[in-house]
Amino acid sequence: MASFYDEIQSNQRRTYFLFASFLLLLFLIAYAFGFVLGLGNFGFVFAVVIAVILTLVMYHQSDKIVLSVTKARPVTKEEFPYLYHSIEALSLGAGIPQPRLYVMDEDAMNAFATGRDPQHAIVVVTTGLLKRMNRLELEGVLSHELSHIRNYDIKVMMLATVFAGSIIILSDILLRSTIWGGGNRREGRGSVYVVILGIALAILAPIFAQLIKMAVSRKREFMADASAAQLTRYPAGLAGALEKIEKDSVQMKNASNATSHLFISNPLKRDNISKWFSTHPPIQERIQRLKAM
């Protein structure tokens, strides 16, 4: 029987490997950007600078963008006193600052955390979740989201999203420039082969980037589940919450592909797609792991 410590350590190692793959892919596309367009080292540096600028912008603005897209609103202690008392106690137990609380006026049951670090974190829950979860189930969900904050998953997923976006943007520029501008004009069979490889990389890199981002998201979900079990010492609470969410047939109104990876369960309800193209692990697998702890 795997303990929550085993689950946390296993998923940490896998996430490190996936991020190493991300960085390798980013540097490959940056190198191809410089070579194929005939810009040399300047092109490589230019491509890296674009990625850095995107990272810095998203680092400081991601939470505002997400809250705007999801139409989440801040709540007061008077409106949802039990939610506030629960988050206060669980934050203290997790050893992190209490995050700001927001709600989405949605009948569907879901929740997510966002922000750039524990000091600037936000937890968002739907009103449907507050209405239909019992105390232990709600604490399980909140512990899952607080675990995302404590484990710096909010920063990890922000970086994964930015890396994937940077790779897609650079690949698009590279492909369009090669098609319309002819790419690197240097002669020689070797140069031609490298240009062809660069074009192939520009086509395939966005696909690989999205697959890596989704894999990172799945691993962090497993890790947050295990950390939530560690925090509450009651895995059955989160398992029960996930069972209710799985059976919930209500569709979310303010969910999109851009934000679906943030939620505790995929709000788009795409259960029929391959797990390779899913932002979340199968809920039944998550429930089984929690019950085995």
Please state the separation of Cα 153 from the chain's center in Å: 7
Q: In terms of residues, how long is the chain?
A: 293
Q: What is the set of active-site residues?
A: 145
Asked if 176 contacts 164 with a C-beta cutoff of 8 angstroms, the reply is no
d(CA 124, CA 235): 21
Beta-sheet strands, E only, within the chain = 73-74, 100-104, 111-114, 122-126
Q: Is 277 exposed, middle or buried (0-12, 13-18, 19+ CB in 10 A)?
A: exposed
Q: Choose among 239, 177, 226, 174: nearest CA to 202.
A: 174
Put the strands of the sheet holding 122-126 in their side by side order: 73-74, 100-104, 122-126, 111-114
Residue with tokens 């629960």: 86
Contact 264, 225 (CB under 8 A): no
- Crossing angle for the helix pair 283-291 and 189-232, to the nearest 10 degrees: 50
Helix or strand (DSSP H, E) at 155: helix 153-181
Residue 292, SS3 per DSSP: coil
Contact indicator for 86, 142 with CB cutoff of 8 Å: yes
User: What secondary structure letter does DSSP report for 111?
Assistant: E
